[in-house]
Amino acid sequence: MSQTVTGAKPVSTPTAKPATTQFVAQDRPYIHVNGQIVPKSQAKVSVFDHGLLYGDGVFEGIRVYCGRIFLCGQHMDRLWWSAEQIRLKIHISKDEMVHVMRQCIEANEISDGYIRLVVTRGEGTLGLNPFLCPTPGIICIADQIRLFPKELYDSGMRVVVAERPKTPVACLDPRVKSLNYLNNILAKVESIDMGLLEVIMLNLDGSVTEGSGDNIFVIKNGRMFTPPLSVGALGGITRRFVMERLAPKAGLKVVERVFGIDEVFNADEAFLTGSAAEIIGLSGVIDRKSKGGKEHTLSGGKEGPTTNTLRMLFRQIVTSDAVPED
């Protein structure tokens, strides 16, 4: 069976299932690479692709629930916006990109999973000039992801304040979801070195921005707030869903404001949000700059009650028959 994406190369979807379990393990998932769906072992890009050479490109991490692409329209809008900010023209339409994702979901028989959608600058020269790359590369991976262990969603997660500051907005706006993630990765390494899984990143002014791959919310005296994007945070899709859909259902109003790490230390609750992370509460925050690396316990060292309410509301929606795609 052959399926075609308008304006792109033919997309061939495998119809025969692999003959052996070993082959399945090695060659799943089937991946869309520049117009064709191929087994994992055949998914390749050019060594001259500027996405590889320079981190020049954009991406989205998107959840699939009950066979539906969660908040698909918002992800497409952000992908196109990010591409425009780095002057990268995506050569297929949003509808065609959604069709590519649906093909990958179907090819991999995914009901609940995760999509990594990547648009690279494309193949070019060894120089930096992006306009010598005539055709952007498009990669779509539909698979499974588990960012944090399941038990941490019930017990809450300990994090550390990163010593590495967030890249200043004037240098590279973190709202652009680009392939250049080294700042986030090096901050993440700080947590891994301590046997933890996530950090809280501050900007050069000492204001809280986000985690290495997720947004942060803080609750104090029944009030919930989150950093504005202007401090150096990504405009997270799940962040927006919490603010616009979940918080009102829980009778809460979210305020965007600038705040320092002390307000996290003294919070009643705090939690992280992201497409991969979903919603996960923080049970403690370690301050490496304090004597002995003092740990500040939140919500009694477990997931807070308001965080739990929001997380349960989220689970109800994404396991229902009406998973929103807009």
* Predicted confidence (pLDDT) per residue in 48-100, tens digit: 999 999 999 999 999 999 999 999 999 999 999 999 999 999 999 999 999 99
94: annotated active-site residue: no
Q: Is pLDDT at 5 greater than 80 in this prediction?
A: no
DSSP state string for 238-294: HHHHIIIIIHHHTT--EEE---BHHHHHT-SEEEEEETTTEEEEEEEEE-TTSTT-P
* Predicted confidence (pLDDT) per residue in 214-223, tens digit: 999 999 999 9
**CA 245 from centroid of its chain's CA atoms:** 19
Best CA proximity match to 93, nearest among 2, 8, 4: 8
Neighbours of 303 (CB within 10 A): 24
Question: In this predicted structure, what is the pLDDT of residue 6?
Answer: 36
* Predicted confidence (pLDDT) per residue in 119-154, tens digit: 999 999 999 999 999 999 999 999 999 999 999 999
According to DSSP, the β-strands at 254-256 and 223-226 are parallel
pLDDT tier at 108, thresholds 50, 70, 90: very high
Q: Is pLDDT at 158 greater than 50 in this prediction?
A: yes
Residue 189: DSSP 8-state:
H
Collapsed DSSP state (helix, strand, coil) of residue 74:
helix
Across the chain, what does the average pLDDT equal?
92
Collapsed DSSP state (helix, strand, coil) of residue 36:
strand
This prediction's pTM: 0.91
Query: Partners of 285 in the beta sheet?
Result: 159, 296
Kindly report which listed range (10-24, 36-50, 64-78) carries the lowest average pLDDT score: 10-24
- Distance separating alpha carbons of residues 92 and 72, to the nearest angstrom: 16
Question: In this predicted structure, what is the pLDDT of residue 293?
Answer: 84
Cα 131 to Cα 33, 38, 190: the distances in Å are 21, 28, 36
- Region 180-200: mean pLDDT is 97
Query: Partners of 278 in the beta sheet?
Result: 274
Query: Domain ranges in the chain?
Result: 7-143, 150-318
Exposed, middle or buried: residue 251 (CB in 10 Å: 0-12, 13-18, 19+)?
A: exposed
- Region 97-116: mean pLDDT is 97
Question: In this predicted structure, what is the pLDDT of residue 290?
Answer: 79
* Predicted confidence (pLDDT) per residue in 282-307, tens digit: 999 999 887 778 999 999 999 999 99
What is the percentage of the chain residues whose pLDDT exceeds 70? 92
Report H helices in 48-197: 50-54, 72-85, 94-107, 150-155, 182-193
Token look-up 């890249």 returns 167
pLDDT tier at 10, thresholds 50, 70, 90: very low
Asked if residues 40 and 28 have their Cβ atoms less than 8 Å apart, the reply is: yes
Q: Is pLDDT at 241 greater than 80 in this prediction?
A: yes
Question: In this predicted structure, what is the pLDDT of residue 24?
Answer: 58
Residue 19: DSSP 8-state:
S
Q: Which of 94, 177, 289, 291 is catalytic?
A: 177
Question: In this predicted structure, what is the pLDDT of residue 288?
Answer: 87
CATH of 7-143, one of 3.30.413.10, 3.30.420.40, 3.40.50.2300, 3.30.470.10: 3.30.470.10
Asked if residues 273 and 205 have their Cβ atoms less than 8 Å apart, the reply is: no
Radius of gyration of the chain (CA): 21
Between 279 and 26, the higher pLDDT residue: 279
Question: In this predicted structure, what is the pLDDT of residue 25?
Answer: 58
Q: Which CATH superfamily is domain 150-318 in?
A: D-amino Acid Aminotransferase, subunit A, domain 2 (3.20.10.10)
